[in-house]
Amino acid sequence: MSFATIQDQAVAVRLLRRIVERQRVPAGLLLWGPAGVGKRLAAYEFVKALNCASPTDGACGDCLPCRKTDHGNHPDVKLIAPTDKSREIKTAEIDEVNELASLRPFEAAQRAFIFEDADRMNVTAQNHFLKTLEEPPGPSVFLLITGYPRQLLPTIRSRCQPIRFGALRPATVATILKRDRDVPDDQVEAIARLAEGQVSRAFDLVDTDKRGVVLELVDRLRAGESPMRVADLFKHHLDELKKALENDMVQPDPRDASEIGKEDRARQAENDAARVQAAFKRSVDDYLYLFQTWYRDELVLAAGGGVDRVWNKDRLSTLQEPAADDTSGRIRAIEQARTYLERYVNEDRVFRHLFVQLGSSATEV
Protein backbone atom coordinates (compact mmCIF):
# COMPACT_ATOMS: atom_id res chain seq x y z
CA MET A 1 0.00 0.00 0.00
CA SER A 2 1.15 3.50 -0.81
CA PHE A 3 -0.01 6.61 -2.59
CA ALA A 4 0.18 4.53 -5.77
CA THR A 5 -2.99 2.68 -4.73
CA ILE A 6 -5.03 5.85 -5.20
CA GLN A 7 -6.33 5.80 -8.77
CA ASP A 8 -6.92 8.72 -11.13
CA GLN A 9 -6.30 11.46 -8.53
CA ALA A 10 -2.93 12.77 -9.64
CA VAL A 11 -3.45 16.35 -8.41
CA ALA A 12 -4.73 15.36 -4.97
CA VAL A 13 -2.00 12.77 -4.52
CA ARG A 14 0.69 15.24 -5.53
CA LEU A 15 -0.49 17.69 -2.85
CA LEU A 16 -0.69 15.02 -0.15
CA ARG A 17 2.70 13.60 -1.11
CA ARG A 18 4.27 17.04 -0.88
CA ILE A 19 2.89 17.62 2.60
CA VAL A 20 4.35 14.31 3.78
CA GLU A 21 7.73 14.97 2.14
CA ARG A 22 8.08 18.44 3.63
CA GLN A 23 6.72 17.31 6.97
CA ARG A 24 4.76 20.52 7.18
CA VAL A 25 1.33 19.29 8.08
CA PRO A 26 -1.50 21.85 8.17
CA ALA A 27 -4.00 21.45 10.98
CA GLY A 28 -6.91 21.12 8.59
CA LEU A 29 -7.26 19.38 5.24
CA LEU A 30 -10.49 19.44 3.28
CA LEU A 31 -10.73 16.41 1.00
CA TRP A 32 -13.65 17.20 -1.24
CA GLY A 33 -15.21 15.93 -4.43
CA PRO A 34 -17.88 13.46 -5.53
CA ALA A 35 -18.69 10.41 -3.45
CA GLY A 36 -16.91 7.16 -4.15
CA VAL A 37 -13.75 8.42 -5.84
CA GLY A 38 -11.14 7.54 -3.20
CA LYS A 39 -11.17 10.39 -0.67
CA ARG A 40 -11.35 8.10 2.34
CA LEU A 41 -8.65 5.81 0.98
CA ALA A 42 -6.45 8.87 0.37
CA ALA A 43 -7.04 10.16 3.90
CA TYR A 44 -5.91 6.86 5.36
CA GLU A 45 -2.90 6.55 3.06
CA PHE A 46 -1.90 10.07 4.05
CA VAL A 47 -2.17 9.41 7.78
CA LYS A 48 -0.33 6.12 7.41
CA ALA A 49 2.41 7.89 5.43
CA LEU A 50 2.80 10.41 8.27
CA ASN A 51 3.14 7.65 10.85
CA CYS A 52 4.94 4.98 8.83
CA ALA A 53 8.16 3.50 10.26
CA SER A 54 9.69 2.88 6.80
CA PRO A 55 7.97 5.09 4.27
CA THR A 56 8.59 4.68 0.55
CA ASP A 57 6.30 6.77 -1.66
CA GLY A 58 3.96 7.01 1.28
CA ALA A 59 3.11 4.26 3.72
CA CYS A 60 4.81 0.86 3.57
CA GLY A 61 1.68 -0.91 4.74
CA ASP A 62 3.69 -3.48 6.69
CA CYS A 63 5.12 -1.73 9.75
CA LEU A 64 3.33 -1.74 13.08
CA PRO A 65 1.83 1.78 12.81
CA CYS A 66 0.60 1.01 9.27
CA ARG A 67 -1.02 -2.24 10.33
CA LYS A 68 -2.58 -0.70 13.40
CA THR A 69 -4.16 2.00 11.26
CA ASP A 70 -5.41 -0.56 8.75
CA HIS A 71 -7.02 -2.51 11.57
CA GLY A 72 -8.58 0.58 13.08
CA ASN A 73 -6.70 0.34 16.35
CA HIS A 74 -3.98 2.97 16.08
CA PRO A 75 -4.41 4.99 19.28
CA ASP A 76 -3.63 8.29 17.54
CA VAL A 77 -5.92 7.84 14.53
CA LYS A 78 -9.58 8.47 15.09
CA LEU A 79 -12.45 8.13 12.64
CA ILE A 80 -15.47 10.35 13.15
CA ALA A 81 -18.52 9.40 11.10
CA PRO A 82 -22.25 10.03 11.19
CA THR A 83 -23.91 7.72 13.68
CA ASP A 84 -27.31 6.06 14.00
CA LYS A 85 -30.29 6.61 11.76
CA SER A 86 -30.06 10.40 12.03
CA ARG A 87 -26.77 10.17 10.09
CA GLU A 88 -25.41 13.14 11.97
CA ILE A 89 -22.09 13.85 13.59
CA LYS A 90 -23.27 14.93 16.99
CA THR A 91 -21.96 17.63 19.28
CA ALA A 92 -21.03 15.07 21.95
CA GLU A 93 -18.67 13.42 19.49
CA ILE A 94 -17.05 16.72 18.62
CA ASP A 95 -16.59 17.47 22.31
CA GLU A 96 -14.76 14.19 22.59
CA VAL A 97 -12.56 15.18 19.62
CA ASN A 98 -11.76 18.49 21.31
CA GLU A 99 -10.80 16.68 24.48
CA LEU A 100 -8.60 14.14 22.70
CA ALA A 101 -6.89 16.86 20.67
CA SER A 102 -5.70 18.45 23.90
CA LEU A 103 -3.92 15.26 24.99
CA ARG A 104 -0.41 14.34 23.92
CA PRO A 105 -0.37 11.65 21.19
CA PHE A 106 0.53 8.16 22.41
CA GLU A 107 3.04 7.13 19.78
CA ALA A 108 2.70 9.20 16.60
CA ALA A 109 4.08 12.71 16.05
CA GLN A 110 0.51 13.99 15.90
CA ARG A 111 -3.03 12.86 16.41
CA ALA A 112 -5.06 12.39 13.23
CA PHE A 113 -8.82 12.84 13.08
CA ILE A 114 -10.58 11.65 9.95
CA PHE A 115 -14.08 13.06 9.54
CA GLU A 116 -16.16 11.03 7.14
CA ASP A 117 -19.05 13.05 5.68
CA ALA A 118 -17.84 16.08 7.63
CA ASP A 119 -20.84 18.04 6.29
CA ARG A 120 -23.01 15.87 8.55
CA MET A 121 -21.79 17.84 11.57
CA ASN A 122 -24.71 19.95 12.67
CA VAL A 123 -24.09 23.68 13.09
CA THR A 124 -23.65 23.45 16.86
CA ALA A 125 -21.12 20.67 16.39
CA GLN A 126 -19.26 22.75 13.80
CA ASN A 127 -19.14 25.68 16.16
CA HIS A 128 -17.78 23.47 18.94
CA PHE A 129 -15.12 22.21 16.56
CA LEU A 130 -14.08 25.59 15.19
CA LYS A 131 -11.85 26.69 18.03
CA THR A 132 -9.93 23.41 18.06
CA LEU A 133 -9.36 23.69 14.33
CA GLU A 134 -8.20 27.30 14.65
CA GLU A 135 -5.80 26.64 17.50
CA PRO A 136 -5.24 22.95 18.04
CA PRO A 137 -4.20 22.52 21.68
CA GLY A 138 -1.79 19.72 20.73
CA PRO A 139 -0.15 18.36 17.56
CA SER A 140 -3.14 17.31 15.45
CA VAL A 141 -4.26 17.01 11.87
CA PHE A 142 -7.96 17.08 10.98
CA LEU A 143 -8.97 15.54 7.68
CA LEU A 144 -12.45 16.61 6.65
CA ILE A 145 -13.92 14.44 3.91
CA THR A 146 -16.99 15.72 2.14
CA GLY A 147 -18.96 15.74 -1.06
CA TYR A 148 -20.72 18.93 0.02
CA PRO A 149 -18.10 21.43 1.22
CA ARG A 150 -20.61 24.28 1.09
CA GLN A 151 -22.51 22.75 3.97
CA LEU A 152 -19.54 23.45 6.20
CA LEU A 153 -19.29 26.85 7.84
CA PRO A 154 -17.10 29.24 5.80
CA THR A 155 -14.96 29.69 8.91
CA ILE A 156 -14.24 25.96 8.94
CA ARG A 157 -13.59 25.75 5.20
CA SER A 158 -11.20 28.69 5.27
CA ARG A 159 -9.13 27.01 7.99
CA CYS A 160 -8.46 23.97 5.83
CA GLN A 161 -6.20 23.37 2.88
CA PRO A 162 -8.53 22.18 0.14
CA ILE A 163 -7.66 19.01 -1.75
CA ARG A 164 -9.97 18.37 -4.65
CA PHE A 165 -10.88 14.93 -5.94
CA GLY A 166 -12.42 14.30 -9.35
CA ALA A 167 -14.31 11.50 -11.06
CA LEU A 168 -12.57 8.22 -11.84
CA ARG A 169 -12.12 6.87 -15.35
CA PRO A 170 -14.77 4.31 -16.35
CA ALA A 171 -11.99 1.72 -16.77
CA THR A 172 -10.96 2.24 -13.14
CA VAL A 173 -14.53 1.88 -11.93
CA ALA A 174 -14.85 -1.30 -14.03
CA THR A 175 -11.74 -2.79 -12.44
CA ILE A 176 -13.04 -2.05 -8.94
CA LEU A 177 -16.46 -3.47 -9.84
CA LYS A 178 -14.90 -6.71 -11.03
CA ARG A 179 -12.85 -6.90 -7.88
CA ASP A 180 -15.58 -6.12 -5.34
CA ARG A 181 -18.87 -7.19 -6.87
CA ASP A 182 -20.20 -10.18 -8.68
CA VAL A 183 -21.36 -8.47 -11.85
CA PRO A 184 -21.94 -10.31 -15.14
CA ASP A 185 -19.17 -9.33 -17.56
CA ASP A 186 -21.50 -7.82 -20.12
CA GLN A 187 -22.86 -5.39 -17.53
CA VAL A 188 -19.55 -4.20 -16.05
CA GLU A 189 -18.79 -1.75 -18.81
CA ALA A 190 -22.31 -0.31 -18.88
CA ILE A 191 -22.45 0.17 -15.13
CA ALA A 192 -18.97 1.70 -14.98
CA ARG A 193 -20.01 4.15 -17.68
CA LEU A 194 -23.36 5.00 -16.05
CA ALA A 195 -21.69 5.57 -12.65
CA GLU A 196 -20.04 8.76 -13.91
CA GLY A 197 -16.72 7.96 -12.33
CA GLN A 198 -18.04 7.24 -8.82
CA VAL A 199 -17.52 3.82 -7.31
CA SER A 200 -20.30 4.39 -4.79
CA ARG A 201 -22.75 5.00 -7.62
CA ALA A 202 -21.55 1.92 -9.44
CA PHE A 203 -22.12 -0.14 -6.29
CA ASP A 204 -25.55 1.45 -5.88
CA LEU A 205 -26.46 0.45 -9.43
CA VAL A 206 -25.41 -3.11 -8.71
CA ASP A 207 -26.93 -3.36 -5.23
CA THR A 208 -30.32 -1.80 -5.98
CA ASP A 209 -32.89 -2.59 -8.64
CA LYS A 210 -32.95 0.99 -9.99
CA ARG A 211 -31.50 0.09 -13.35
CA GLY A 212 -33.61 -3.02 -13.68
CA VAL A 213 -36.76 -0.98 -13.03
CA VAL A 214 -35.85 1.66 -15.60
CA LEU A 215 -34.95 -0.90 -18.27
CA GLU A 216 -38.20 -2.75 -17.66
CA LEU A 217 -40.29 0.41 -17.93
CA VAL A 218 -38.48 1.46 -21.09
CA ASP A 219 -39.18 -1.97 -22.59
CA ARG A 220 -42.86 -1.67 -21.70
CA LEU A 221 -43.08 1.75 -23.31
CA ARG A 222 -41.31 0.49 -26.41
CA ALA A 223 -43.75 -2.43 -26.57
CA GLY A 224 -46.56 0.11 -26.71
CA GLU A 225 -47.96 -0.50 -23.25
CA SER A 226 -50.24 2.24 -21.93
CA PRO A 227 -48.14 5.10 -20.49
CA MET A 228 -50.67 5.43 -17.65
CA ARG A 229 -50.14 1.84 -16.68
CA VAL A 230 -46.34 2.33 -16.82
CA ALA A 231 -46.68 5.47 -14.70
CA ASP A 232 -48.69 3.47 -12.13
CA LEU A 233 -46.03 0.78 -11.97
CA PHE A 234 -43.36 3.40 -11.40
CA LYS A 235 -45.48 5.12 -8.77
CA HIS A 236 -45.99 1.84 -6.96
CA HIS A 237 -42.27 1.28 -7.03
CA LEU A 238 -41.56 4.75 -5.60
CA ASP A 239 -44.10 4.20 -2.79
CA GLU A 240 -42.26 1.04 -1.79
CA LEU A 241 -38.98 2.89 -1.92
CA LYS A 242 -40.26 5.64 0.36
CA LYS A 243 -41.49 3.10 2.90
CA ALA A 244 -38.10 1.40 2.87
CA LEU A 245 -36.33 4.73 3.42
CA GLU A 246 -38.59 5.62 6.35
CA ASN A 247 -37.91 2.25 7.86
CA ASP A 248 -34.21 2.67 7.38
CA MET A 249 -33.79 6.30 8.44
CA VAL A 250 -36.32 7.03 11.16
CA GLN A 251 -35.86 5.53 14.58
CA PRO A 252 -38.47 5.64 17.29
CA ASP A 253 -37.55 8.04 20.09
CA PRO A 254 -36.38 5.89 22.99
CA ARG A 255 -37.55 8.45 25.57
CA ASP A 256 -41.09 8.17 26.81
CA ALA A 257 -43.63 10.86 26.18
CA SER A 258 -43.31 12.48 29.60
CA GLU A 259 -39.61 13.20 29.10
CA ILE A 260 -39.96 14.95 25.81
CA GLY A 261 -41.83 18.12 25.03
CA LYS A 262 -44.36 18.42 22.30
CA GLU A 263 -42.19 20.94 20.50
CA ASP A 264 -39.13 18.68 20.56
CA ARG A 265 -41.20 15.86 19.23
CA ALA A 266 -42.58 17.98 16.41
CA ARG A 267 -39.10 19.24 15.53
CA GLN A 268 -37.75 15.71 15.50
CA ALA A 269 -40.56 14.54 13.23
CA GLU A 270 -39.88 17.45 10.92
CA ASN A 271 -36.17 16.63 10.74
CA ASP A 272 -36.90 12.98 10.05
CA ALA A 273 -39.35 13.82 7.29
CA ALA A 274 -36.86 16.20 5.70
CA ARG A 275 -34.08 13.59 5.70
CA VAL A 276 -36.32 10.92 4.21
CA GLN A 277 -37.55 13.36 1.58
CA ALA A 278 -33.97 14.33 0.67
CA ALA A 279 -32.93 10.70 0.29
CA PHE A 280 -36.07 9.98 -1.73
CA LYS A 281 -35.34 12.90 -4.01
CA ARG A 282 -31.82 11.65 -4.63
CA SER A 283 -33.22 8.29 -5.66
CA VAL A 284 -35.79 9.86 -7.98
CA ASP A 285 -32.93 11.81 -9.55
CA ASP A 286 -31.09 8.54 -10.10
CA TYR A 287 -34.09 7.06 -11.89
CA LEU A 288 -34.51 10.12 -14.08
CA TYR A 289 -30.82 10.03 -14.88
CA LEU A 290 -31.05 6.39 -15.94
CA PHE A 291 -34.03 7.12 -18.19
CA GLN A 292 -32.06 9.96 -19.68
CA THR A 293 -29.05 7.79 -20.44
CA TRP A 294 -31.31 5.40 -22.32
CA TYR A 295 -32.67 8.08 -24.63
CA ARG A 296 -29.23 9.60 -24.88
CA ASP A 297 -28.00 6.27 -26.27
CA GLU A 298 -30.89 6.15 -28.75
CA LEU A 299 -29.94 9.61 -29.87
CA VAL A 300 -26.25 8.73 -30.23
CA LEU A 301 -27.06 5.74 -32.43
CA ALA A 302 -29.64 7.66 -34.45
CA ALA A 303 -27.06 10.36 -35.10
CA GLY A 304 -24.67 7.75 -36.44
CA GLY A 305 -22.41 7.67 -33.36
CA GLY A 306 -20.52 4.40 -33.11
CA VAL A 307 -21.49 1.69 -30.61
CA ASP A 308 -18.42 2.64 -28.58
CA ARG A 309 -20.19 5.80 -27.56
CA VAL A 310 -23.18 3.91 -26.17
CA TRP A 311 -23.39 3.72 -22.37
CA ASN A 312 -26.02 0.99 -21.91
CA LYS A 313 -23.87 -1.31 -23.98
CA ASP A 314 -25.28 -4.51 -22.55
CA ARG A 315 -28.60 -3.51 -24.16
CA LEU A 316 -27.17 -2.73 -27.54
CA SER A 317 -29.48 -5.10 -29.45
CA THR A 318 -32.59 -3.37 -28.08
CA LEU A 319 -31.07 0.05 -28.64
CA GLN A 320 -30.36 -0.83 -32.27
CA GLU A 321 -33.97 -1.70 -32.99
CA PRO A 322 -35.72 1.20 -34.64
CA ALA A 323 -36.92 3.59 -31.98
CA ALA A 324 -39.70 6.13 -31.96
CA ASP A 325 -38.79 9.51 -33.33
CA ASP A 326 -38.37 12.67 -31.30
CA THR A 327 -35.85 11.16 -28.89
CA SER A 328 -34.56 14.59 -28.01
CA GLY A 329 -38.13 15.56 -27.08
CA ARG A 330 -38.11 12.69 -24.60
CA ILE A 331 -34.86 13.87 -23.09
CA ARG A 332 -36.37 17.33 -22.74
CA ALA A 333 -39.45 15.80 -21.09
CA ILE A 334 -37.22 14.20 -18.46
CA GLU A 335 -35.47 17.52 -17.83
CA GLN A 336 -38.85 19.15 -17.47
CA ALA A 337 -40.00 16.52 -14.97
CA ARG A 338 -36.91 17.30 -12.94
CA THR A 339 -37.81 21.00 -12.94
CA TYR A 340 -41.41 20.30 -11.91
CA LEU A 341 -40.23 18.12 -9.03
CA GLU A 342 -37.89 20.91 -7.87
CA ARG A 343 -40.93 23.15 -7.76
CA TYR A 344 -42.86 20.59 -5.72
CA VAL A 345 -45.46 19.90 -8.37
CA ASN A 346 -47.39 16.80 -7.32
CA GLU A 347 -45.25 13.73 -8.08
CA ASP A 348 -48.05 11.59 -9.50
CA ARG A 349 -48.97 14.25 -11.99
CA VAL A 350 -45.37 14.83 -13.00
CA PHE A 351 -44.76 11.15 -13.70
CA ARG A 352 -48.05 10.58 -15.52
CA HIS A 353 -47.24 13.53 -17.74
CA LEU A 354 -43.69 12.28 -18.23
CA PHE A 355 -44.64 8.75 -19.22
CA VAL A 356 -47.24 10.00 -21.67
CA GLN A 357 -44.47 11.95 -23.36
CA LEU A 358 -41.99 9.09 -23.22
CA GLY A 359 -44.54 6.69 -24.67
CA SER A 360 -46.25 9.12 -27.01
CA SER A 361 -45.17 7.94 -30.41
CA ALA A 362 -43.78 4.57 -29.41
CA THR A 363 -46.85 2.90 -30.88
CA GLU A 364 -46.60 4.86 -34.08
CA VAL A 365 -43.23 3.47 -35.12
Site for Zn ion, rule CB under 5 A: 52, 59-60, 63, 66
In whole angstroms, the minimum distance from the beta carbon of 42 to Zn ion comes to 16
Residue type, position 194, single letter:
L
In whole angstroms, the minimum distance from the beta carbon of 108 to Zn ion comes to 12
Residue among 66 and 118 whose Cβ is closer to Zn ion = 66
In whole angstroms, the minimum distance from the beta carbon of 80 to Zn ion comes to 23
Residue among 54 and 83 whose Cβ is closer to Zn ion = 54
Residue among 66 and 188 whose Cβ is closer to Zn ion = 66
Tell me how far apart the alpha carbons of residues 285 and 165 are, in angstroms, rounded to a whole number: 23
Residue among 65 and 197 whose Cβ is closer to Zn ion = 65
In whole angstroms, the minimum distance from the beta carbon of 56 to Zn ion comes to 9
Compute, in degrees rounded to 10, the torsion defined by CA atoms 297, 301, 304, 310.
Answer: 50
Of 286, 280, 289, 284, give the one whose Cα is nearest residue 331.
Answer: 289
Of 145, 112, 148, give the one whose Cα is nearest residue 40.
Answer: 145
Q: CA quadruple 57, 63, 69, 75: dihedral positive or negative?
A: negative
Residue among 66 and 192 whose Cβ is closer to Zn ion = 66
In whole angstroms, the minimum distance from the beta carbon of 143 to Zn ion comes to 18
Residue among 114 and 300 whose Cβ is closer to Zn ion = 114
Asked if 276 and 249 count as a contact pair (C-beta separation under 8 A), the reply is: yes
Asked if 41 and 6 count as a contact pair (C-beta separation under 8 A), the reply is: yes
- Where do the DSSP E strands lie in 34-103? 77-80
In whole angstroms, the minimum distance from the beta carbon of 66 to Zn ion comes to 3
Residue type, position 213, single letter:
V
Strand order in the sheet with 28-32: 77-80, 111-115, 140-146, 28-32, 161-164
